[in-house]
Amino acid sequence: MRFKQMIHEVEARAAEVIKLSEEKKEQALRQKELLQEEVNRQTAELRTTLDNLQATQAQLIQSEKMASLGELTAGIAHEIQNPLNFINNFSEVNQDLLGELKAAVEKADWEEVKILAADVQANEDKINHHGKRADAIVKGMLQHSRHSSGQKDVTDINALCDEYLRLAYHGLRASDKGFNAQLSASLDPAVGNVEVVVQEFGRVILNLINNAFYAVHERKQQEGIEYTPQVAITTQRDADQIMIKISDNGAGIPAAIREKIFQPFFTTKPTGKGTGLGLSLSYDIITKGHQGKIEMETKEGSGTTFTIILPAK
């Protein structure tokens, strides 16, 4: 009798254990489901956050790009105005020459007709030349403002550097007509054409030149007539690399912040004057997009030189 009772108790306990085990199993499954739901929720939130960050990054990059283009607007207007002035002047001269040509034809003075016709043709050639010059400026700026395809194209690096140096200078002078600087462009013909992503590489050159002009402009405002702003761009081709140097004789970069200049959102400019993305984007474009290097040398009170180094192919 006692044995049967013990068996019954064991069976009862076993049933309780099984029941408890089932309850714990159900509880564990429920916890797993809740945990999975939480993971899914957090994953969705992270995806949304990532999408928002990527969208914000794209907007900031576009803002930086358009900010640099905006600084050039006045320079572009100046550069376009010059060829337009030539076109207008030569057109007016041709109108007078055509009147003289008509009179010479009526007089049957064929020698005079030949001379006048040659003058008209020469002026037409000049009009065509300056028209193409204006067209090239507009196309270059449109290319700069468009979204980059990431496609590398053969590009005349010297022409690109020279173009942006002048555009940036005239852009700054438009906002401060009293500002003048000594410009220097030592462009090695051996550099020739190089495969680059034109929009992105041009953005780097433009950013470094704008920074150089900003540095000398700031120093000029502080030191006045005792100081002569100087900005220079140099290109050079060696056996295995191409170097582009952009130098200024501004105040230089303080030692305390030199290690931070390529960090995103770091800027020494006042609020509203810069996004702090220019050098960071430039660094990524050169190192990641073109397998090159970008280096900086600076001395407080003497100026700064940024050097872009690309592999020569």
Tell me, yes or no, whether 278 lies in a domain: yes
Q: Which CATH number do you get for residue 263?
A: 3.30.565.10
d(CA 55, CA 259) in angstroms, rounded, equals 28
Tell me, yes or no, whether 313 lies in a domain: yes
The domain of 285 spans 153-313
Q: Does the global pTM surpass 0.75?
A: no
Q: What is the pLDDT of residue 48?
A: 77
Q: How many domains is the chain built from?
A: 1
Q: What is the pLDDT of residue 110?
A: 82
Q: Residue ranges of the chain with pLDDT lower than 70?
A: 1-25, 28-29, 32, 35, 38-39, 49, 52-79, 137, 139-149, 265-266, 270-276
CB 306 within 8 A of CB 294: yes
Tell me, yes or no, whether 22 lies in a domain: no
SS3 78: helix
Tell me, yes or no, whether 55 lies in a domain: no
Tell me, yes or no, whether 109 lies in a domain: no
Q: What is the pLDDT of residue 220?
A: 92
- 133: buried, middle or exposed (CB in 10 Å: 19+, 13-18, 0-12)? middle
Q: Which residues pair with 296 in a beta bridge?
A: 306
Tell me, yes or no, whether 185 lies in a domain: yes
Question: What average pLDDT is seen over the chain?
Answer: 79
Q: What is the pLDDT of residue 14?
A: 62
Q: What is the pLDDT of residue 228?
A: 94
Tell me, yes or no, whether 128 lies in a domain: no
Tell me, yes or no, whether 279 lies in a domain: yes
Q: What is the pLDDT of residue 18?
A: 64
Q: Kindly give, in sequence order, each residue whose CB lies less than 8 Å from that of residue 60, ignoring residues fewer than 6 positions away.
A: 275, 277
